[in-house]
Structure formats: C-alpha cells, structure tokens
Structure 1
Amino acid sequence: MNAETRTQGSYWLQTAPRGEPAPQPSGDITVEVAVIGGGIAGLSTAWELVRQGREVAVLEADRIAAGVTGHTTAKLSAQHTLVYDHLRRTRGPEGARLYARSQTAAIEHAAGIVDELGIDCEWEEASAFTYAEDRRRVGELRAEAEAAREAGLPADFVTESELPFPIAGAVRVTNQVQFHPCKYLLALAGDLRRRGGAVYEGTRVVGLSEGEPCVLRTDAGVSVRADEVVVATHYPVFDRALLFTRLSPRRELVVAGTIEEERAPRDMHITPEQSTRSVRSAPYRDGTRLLVVTGEHITPGTADVEERFARLSAWAGDRFEGFTVTHRWATQDNDSTDSVPLVGPMRAGSDHTYVATGFGGWGLSGGIMAGRLISDLVHGREVEWAGLYDPRRLGTVVREGATFLKNQAKVGRHFLGDRLSSVTRPLTPEDVPRGEGAVVRVGARHCAVHRDEKGELRAVSARCTHLGCLVAFNRAEQAWECPCHGSRFAPDGSILQGPAVRPLERRDIGSRDT
C-alpha cells in the first residue's frame, strides 16, 4: 500500500448520492415521535412510523447514514459468526429460533422495501460463511451449523469454499445479502420526507426530560417536544438504565481495494480467528470488483492503529492475488454482555422512551429489525421476539455475570490505571512529536495535547465528558478515544462519536493553573 493508491475514508460514503445538509430546526418543534440518530436503526424506525401515519422528526448530530452505518462492511445477514450455539445454550432452542426468525424477517423486509421504492443499492444475494483454518475449531463449527439449522436457517457444515486458501471447515448459510448501505438509507430518508417526516442534520441532542410529553434539548438551545422518543445513537447518549454497564465498545478496521473480477469472492466470509477477518466483494468497475476486508477488533484508544491497518492490509494482499488497496476506514460497535442487542423500552417505567443498541457488529439486520420492533411497540402491538431483545429482560444477571464483571474490570483498569501510568511515565508538551498526541500532566490536571504537522500545539481536557475516563490518541485517525465507553473526539476536542454529548474543554498549556 502506498500514498498514491490509498484513499482515507469510507467507500460507501464517497459513492453515495448526497445533497446539501438538511437544516437544523429553526425554533422549538412538537412532534409525535422524535428519533435521535440517523443511522440504520434510527432511519428504519422513523420510516416505519411515518409509513403508519405518525408525525416524526429525525435528529442527527452530523449527517444521516454517515456514522457507523456509513462505515460498515455492509453484510445483511442472519448468520452472525458463532451466535446460535451460544444462544441455544444460554437462551434455549426457542431463544435461538426467535433470534433467527427476527433477523431473517429483517432481511426479507428490506428486500420488500428495495422493490417497493425501486432502490438502486447494489443488492446481491450471497451465501454467508463462518470459517476456520484451525482444525481444532471444526467441532465448534459443526455445533454452530447444527444450532443454526435447528433455529430455522438454511445452514450446513462444509469443508470447501471459494476462498483462495484452504479452510478446515465452515458454517454456510444461503440466501443472505450484501448491498450499498448508504444508497439504501438515503433512499429511505428521501421517502420518509415525501411521506411528511422531518430530518434535521447537524442537530446534537444534549438533554432529555421524560414525561408526557418528553422534552429534548439540542446544543443550539432548541426544545423538541414529543410523545415518544427513540434513542438510536449507537451507544445511548441518555442512559437512565445504566446500559453502559452491559455494553463493551470495540473498534474495527476496514481496508478495501480492487481485485480482478474473476478472482473476487461472490459470497461473504468471516472467521473469529486472527482478531477476526471478514471478506466480501462489491460491484466496482468493468473487469474489477471491490474487495472489502474487515478485522483487527480493538478497544478504542488501546492499540497502535497504524500498525493494525498495516497488518490487515498485508493479510489481504497475501491471501488475494492482485489485491490493491484503494480505501481504508474504521468503524465502531458495541457488544452486549449476553450477545443479544438491547431494543425496546429504555428501562422499567419508561413508557415513552425506547432504545436500540448493542448490535455486536451486525447492525444492518439488527437496525432494520429494531425499526420494525420499536414501531410495533409504539403502536401497542405484540411481537413474539420483543422479550428476547427487551433491555429490561430478566435473568440477565446470571447469564451475563462473567462478561459483566470482565467489562467492569476493564473499565476500572482504564479509569484508575491510565491515571497512574501518566504519573509514573510523565510527559511534557514538548515531548509530543508532530502528528501525535499524548496525555500529559500540566499543573494538577491531565491534558490531552496534540501537535499538528506544522508544529502547533493544542490542548484539551483529557477527561472524557461522558463519565470521566482518560482519553488516548489514535494517530492513524487523528482522534482522541475513550477506552471505557467509546466516545471519540477531534484533536480540538469536538465530538466525533458519542456517548459523550459535550466536547473536551480547551486548556491553556501556557499556564500552570490548567
């Protein structure tokens, strides 16, 4: 990979037909339903509600379809690596069946929407494979194939694939889909507007008062009154139910590039080995396809991302002859402690506030499922899998215990350990090289100091404005990241990704009082 062939940024965002940003609200507004977040979960929910006659406003802090959904691998599949054997053991056969039915119904629903609206989103049916190269994992794969088949998926165990390297075995699920997520969502948003729904971009919601009605407050001081509120911000920006204790953020890297059409895989492949490797291809140009390779799962702010990008690119180049990198980007998702998304009423007593989060890397089918589920709940309709996804679900303490404790221990290590390491290995602003950032002690406070390529320093508070963990610098993406709950900030402290709703405060590193 070299500078001439690499384009920083998501291929999906670069090739989506996007117009001028939608305006912010010009004043206070009142709607029946306010949806916070313009990704696939938020827009799917809003579209379902508008189609059923509700007055809806979508409030997006940046641009719609430009966050996590715009940086996905774009697989629309009910085969989620090795989830079904796990569900069979923790939720029983019925839990696994409901999961499979709900995810499959989401894919079928999306297919109907594509046909109904005539969306040109590069829709391609494909089989989904979860494979392993290590023969010691064959038993695990056989169990997963059996569990997925019992759950109702068209699944089987195979020992061959179209991959250009040998595998020990794989779970194959047929009749799955890959597509262009941004083209799909922008078409959905266009139809939402035509049906009378409102979309506001550049509108960050920073306050929520639950009641009848609920009242939202934006960073521009605008109030939004709504009978119902849906928090679809990926990681909940409002968390009265302490869902952050049941979510673990992870960052995932993506490289994409050209490959000769005859060498490109037409199915979708993923392995849990080697810190995950996920492969698919997409339409590109005559004679070539775009190979999209995902992997290197890391906790935000805890790894040398540049080195991890190089490792992922080298793996793709070694395994796929003629692969030439053209794009690279990163995405982020949250794993729930019991491997099932949290979709439904935010907490006990939340009669008018809903949440959708914890999709574990499978947010496309999960987001479409969430849109239908929340719409049905708002209208008082029963859904057979509502209990499976309910954030208030009982019994999770027992099922989640070990993972819950592990997550909290990790957060504790960062909350306390990062502070201690900054004392035992002190830095000064002068120690920060160009293009880098570091947490330093200036006076009595921790400062996040960044030096740009011109040599100019800027400093902000190193305490994440969500819950106060110390941020760390991601050199490859030039961002401050919180390892506890995944908030991300630009070098100047402005918010790139929640759950934080306030920027990092600026610091004057010329003063010992900072």
Structure 2
Amino acid sequence: MTNHKETDYILPGRAESYWMATTPESSYPPLSGDIRVDVAILGGGMVGITTAYLLKEAGVPSVAVIEADRIITGVTGRTTAKVTSQHSLIYDRLISKFGKHQAQQYAESNQAALEKIASIVSSKDIACDFVRKPAYVYAGTEDSVEIIQKEVDAAQSLGLPASFKADLPLPFDTYGAVRFSNQAQFHPRKYLCALAREIEGDGCHIFEKTRALKLEGDGPITITTDKGIIKAQKVIQATHFPIHDKPGMLFQRLYQSRSYVLGVRIEESFPQGMFINAEKPVRSLRSQPVGEGELVLVSGEGHRTGEGNEIDHYKNLEKWVRSVYSVNSIDYHWSTQDVMTVDHVPYIGLLTSDNENLFIATGFRKWGMTTGTVAAMILTDMILGQSNPWGEVYNPSRFKPLESAKSFFSQAAEATKGLVGDRVIPVHEKASQISPGEGAIVKIEGEKVAAYRDKAGVLHTLDPSCRHMGCIVSWNNAEKTWDCPCHGSRYNAKGEVIKSPAVYGLFEKKVKGQK
C-alpha cells in the first residue's frame, strides 16, 4: 500500500505555462443580467476567440463569447503552440480508413488554417513571435522507419510539403524523419489576445467569469449561466469537452488525455525546427525566443486523465532531457489536457443533424492550433449559410467502422465502468495518514470518500462522484486536483469545478470522527 506522504521530488521551475507567465491577465467583465445575441460561443480559447473574430469580420451584428474563467487560460494557454498541418503520423491512416477524398479535406484544411493564421498575423501586424520553421516526425527506433516512409508517401500524395530527411541535428540517435517545410510556431496568447481586442464592442461581447450551466431549446437557444440568461439563435460549444453532450452520445466517443511540458534552458544551440518522435512515450521539442536566449519546450508523457502518477511523468521528462542536453535551468513546468476522438479526427459542425442551431468543436487531439482554426473557418461558413469544402471529414455524426469501431466500444466500456461503479479505484490508507497539502480516496465506514488535508491540517471530505456522469475521481498529486478518469472533468482540492464537461462542484460529504 502506498505511503501517502508524497515523493521528495520537487517539481522544477515555475508552475505556470510560459505563455501565461509572459502576458497580462485579461479583465473582461462577467455577464450582468439577461441578453440576446445572434451567436453565442461557449469557451474563450482558440476556437471561441477565432470564430468570434471571423464572425464579426463577416458582419454578424451580435456575437458573445462566454468563458467560465479568463480567456485563453485553458488548453490554449498551455499548448506547445506548433502551427502545423503535420499532426504526428496521421495521413497514411486517414487514407486507409477515411479514403483519399476525406484525407485530402483534412490535409487541405489544416494547411489552409496555417496560412489563415499567417495572414491574420500579417494583416493585423500582431507581434506574437510567429516564425516559419520545418516540422519533423522522427523515427526514434529502426522499427519506425517503415511507417515514417509510408507517412511521407501519403502526405506527398495529398499535396502537402512533405519529404524524407535521413539525418537530423539532434543529440541522440534517429533513423529518418518526415519533414514538412514552411510550417510555423508562435505565442498563442499574444495572438489571441490581439484578436479578442477586435471582438469587444459594436454589439459584440466577451464575458469572463461566467459559467454556462445548461442549454435548452433549439432556436433561439436559452443558455443558463451562473450570472444570467443568454438567448441566441446559434450556439457554438467550444468548451473543450462539450458540457451539453448527451444528444450526440459524445461521452461514448470522447476522452481526455493529459501531457506535460518543461520549459528548459540548455547549453547547446537548438536546431531550426519543431520535432516529435513516432513512438511512445512521446518526446516533443521546440524552441521559443526569450530575451537574448531561448527556451526549449520539452513535452510528452501523455496518459488518460485520472490515471497514472502525474509527478512521475514530470520526473521522466526531466530525466530524459538531462540525458540528451546540458541543462542550465528548468524555468517552467505545466501540464495540459486534450480531448481525443475514437477515430483521431475532430468533431466540427452540428451536434446532431436534427438541430441546425447547435454546433460543437472538439477532439483536436494535441494539434489544436490549426484544427481549432479549421473549426473557426468551418463554423463561420455554416453560420453564414455558405458552403465549406472540408466539413465532411469533421462531421460529428460520422461513424467510420474500419477506423473507430474497436476504439468506440473500448471507450464505451470505459464510460460504462465508471457509470456503474465497477472501475477499480485505488483506496488508500486512513484519512489520518494523509499529509498536509495532499489528498486520496479513502474508505470511511464502508464508503469511498475524496479526502484532502489543507496546509493548515484541516481535512476536507467530498463525495468522489464526478458531477458530469458519476464516475469516481482520482487525486492528481502534481497539481493537487481531483480528476475524472471517464471524461476528464477536473476539480480543485476543495471540489470546485475547474474543467468541463462538469459544470458543478463535488458535493461535500460529512464524516464523523475524522481528523
């Protein structure tokens, strides 16, 4: 049984993403009273801000972005911010499972999204560290060489700027790579904060610290928030994992995955390019200019939310980067959470075919800078009543048996296990053994309890059932949160909701005689 006094390992650097640490916090007001708009967008990340910007540019009279916290502080504020149509190894799979036509749509849309971002940066003169660089997926073992070559062939057949590169300027063994030329990287908050300033005013709004709780109706749609009521003819859910997901049974087709980032200063010069390996565990690398020097963002160690030891993943990343580079310092550490679809392609469009006013954008895996922009472009066209050449491949109502059947039933089984309560939950020692600043699922009088002891030594006890669909949460020892392993809802140590799809906090659970 685990001793619940946590490891002596100290997480290195500042516990904040570089993007948020180097930009001021926004200060848009919360909703005050009831309003009516043409389009309401739930979520102020890449999709929400970009879509609102494009809709206003197109002349839609009134658009409102509703954000539960501050804009661009969720997943978009924690990305590695690669702006690329290269999404690890995707195109050979797409051709074989979706067919050449829809693979072409995916390729063209993401390449177009890259150029859309470049065009906005240029036309608005946004200082956001946007720079063109090649992107590489490299073979870390000889066994991966064949799949790398297949990816090169597939990408080239779709007209993408792909080629095979035999040697890479990296300080460890590689066995060839697929290279996409003329890709890009940027500072996502500098970019999106500039777009947000274009949205506010002239009938358009950004409401922060306003949590959407419920959607009702089919046009106009009524959005109940914790600050008032919004009525909108069209509603886009860009909340990462949709809060209103049951009509399309999305909870059976989506799950969330956590991964980790270290911001590292190294002795060596980092090569021109963005790099990711073809194997697991993932090792992703890119540099970011910082004053006179550069920060190297080292990321990877992905796993399903709510499963695994989070501190160990940081340890693994640090051990690896120190084994390949001379590390001067680790300045930042942060984690992120990505929504995954069962067939690896995002859901963008109508939530269900029988409601023409309710849209979703989700499931960007770990490539949300371009696919989030694709979503904004597709949804803008749909709301304006214009045709879009790429919507078919992203249709949320799709089902590709060859690609997704096995994953669909696997994910459905995971969700069902959580719903019926037969998931194997590690139950730790007595609550009295929990150290200050730590938490655990414990059993008290035969019932599972989510117990957290604060720094003052006071024990807080909660019902461990996630408020989304009742799955049992688990303790995240790196970020001191309660995370749901079924659908990725997250709560702070005292049970307040911080990540969707849940919109309400965990219930308090009174227990007798516990200290």
Report the TM-score range of the alignment, normalised by the length of the smaller protein. over 0.9
Q: Tell me the SS of whatever aligns to 1:63.
A: coil
Which amino acid is the alignment partner of residue 102 of structure 1? Answer: S
Q: Give the structure 1 partner of residue 511 of structure 2.
A: 509
Distance of 2:428 and 2:107 partners within structure 1: 51
Q: Give the structure 2 partner of residue 279 of structure 1.
A: 285
Q: Give the structure 2 partner of residue 368 of structure 1.
A: 373
Identity across aligned pairs (percent)?
37
Distance of 2:20 and 2:413 partners within structure 1: 36
Q: Give the structure 1 partner of residue 251 of structure 2.
A: 244
TM-fit CA distance, 1:196: 4.4
| Selected match of 1:34 from 33, 40, 51 | 40
Given the alignment of the two structures, is residue 137 of structure 1 paired with residue 144 of structure 2, yes or no? yes
Distance of 2:141 and 2:358 partners within structure 1: 46
| Selected match of 2:231 from 219, 225, 231 | 225
Indicate how the Cα distance of structure 1 residues 244 and 292 shifts in structure 2: closer, same or farther if over 3 A, else same. same
Distance of 1:229 and 1:157 partners within structure 2: 43
Q: Give the structure 2 partner of residue 396 of structure 1.
A: 400
CA RMSD of aligned residues (A): 1.9
Report if aligned partners of 1:50, 1:196 keep a CA contact under 8 Å in 2. Answer: no
TM-score (norm 1): 0.95
Report if aligned partners of 1:317, 1:324 keep a CA contact under 8 Å in 2. Answer: no
Q: Give the structure 1 partner of residue 361 of structure 2.
A: 356
TM-fit CA distance, 1:117: 1.2
TM-fit CA distance, 1:49: 0.8
**1:361-510 → structure 2 map (5 Å cutoff):** 361-393=366-398, 395-415=399-419, 421=425, 427-443=429-445, 445-510=447-512
Indicate how the Cα distance of structure 1 residues 331 and 420 shifts in structure 2: closer, same or farther if over 3 A, else same. closer
Per-residue Cα deviation, 1:55-97 (whole angstroms, up to 9, x for no partner): 1000000000000000001101000000000001011122221
Structure 2: gaps of 5 or more residues: 1-7
The 10-residue stretch of structure 1 (93-102 or 25-34) with the greater mean CA deviation from structure 2: 93-102
Given the alignment of the two structures, is residue 318 of structure 1 paired with residue 320 of structure 2, yes or no? no
TM-fit CA distance, 1:429: 1.8
Per-residue Cα deviation, 1:414-459 (whole angstroms, up to 9, x for no partner): 555766546xx56432132222211123346432101123322111
TM-score (norm 2): 0.94
TM-fit CA distance, 1:245: 1.0
Given the alignment of the two structures, is residue 22 of structure 1 paired with residue 38 of structure 2, yes or no? no
| Selected match of 2:95 from 88, 91, 103 | 88
Report if aligned partners of 1:38, 1:59 keep a CA contact under 8 Å in 2. Answer: yes
Distance of 1:264 and 1:354 partners within structure 2: 42
Report if aligned partners of 2:97, 2:400 keep a CA contact under 8 Å in 1. Answer: no
Q: Give the structure 2 partner of residue 190 of structure 1.
A: 197
Structure 1: gaps of 5 or more residues: none
| Selected match of 2:299 from 294, 301, 314 | 294
TM-fit CA distance, 1:399: 3.1
Distance of 1:184 and 1:510 partners within structure 2: 52
Per-residue Cα deviation, 1:453-501 (whole angstroms, up to 9, x for no partner): 3322111110000010000001111000000000000011111111001
Work out the number of aligned pairs and report it.
Answer: 505
Report if aligned partners of 2:41, 2:235 keep a CA contact under 8 Å in 1. Answer: yes
Which amino acid is the alignment partner of residue 406 of structure 1? Answer: S
**1:89-128 → structure 2 map (5 Å cutoff):** 89-128=96-135
| Selected match of 1:330 from 318, 326, 335 | 335
Q: Tell me the SS of whatever aligns to 1:263.
A: coil
